[in-house]
Structure 1
Amino acid sequence: MARPKVVLPDNGISEKEILKKMEEIREDDINWKDGKVWSLVYHASEEHTEMLKKASNMFFSKNALSPMAFPSLKKFETEVISMAVDLFGGDNRCCGSMTSGGTESLLMAVKTYRDWAREKFPHIKEPEMLV
């Protein structure tokens, strides 16, 4: 079965139309508030969710890939990493980085161990990963 072809419209679409279409598409999503998923949504409370929305809106158009342009994001990253190092009992030799979650986080964890293993076990030329 072929994918339906989606093309850019000849003319712009109003905000109202876009949001209406998004609401329609969202109707097929699972209702996570009823406890129908166990690991895909992390929800503490409505109050907490509202605070997260406000915080996200403050920085949604910023890009953490440019710490020189957005030092605030670099500060947040540094503080979160410092907290994580403390939680795991690390010292001032520890470091870290932030990812956007999911697959990226898994790939970075594997890359970190790969780089570590290359340094510690250079004689292993064809390593295997057991998952």
Structure 2
Amino acid sequence: MLKRSALTLPASLSLGAREEQELSSPLSPRGRGAGGEGGNDWLVAQYLIHQLDQKGEMGAAELLAKLGSRGEIARDLAYRLYSLCDRKGWTQEALAYNSLVISWPEISRLASNVKTHEPIQTSFL
């Protein structure tokens, strides 16, 4: 059985100063496998769980704001994984996934208020 720490990101994948670089690769549509389909939805869920665990709902909301619609897929996956872990009796894993599912309404509400840093054109020429 996996320990709770196995569901969070290892230090080598932390979301510190290199967050933008990491997000641009494994979580971008280009990083989702052939043709941009399938792929790293599990990884997205793990990043969200990690942020929720380390930085609370606001940290997860900031990441969700960057993820867009991929966040909903991760939430659905977390629910399915929670159900699976619960049936198998894997309490620690179920707790991690359930924490994301339970917190989702507040995370989603906070994410809608987070302003993403997009370039703004100030002049035409």
Instruction: Choose between structure 1 and 2: higher helix proportion.
Output: 2
Q: Greater relative contact order (Cα 8 A, min sep 6): structure 1 or 2?
A: 2
Normalising by structure 1, report the TM-score: 0.22
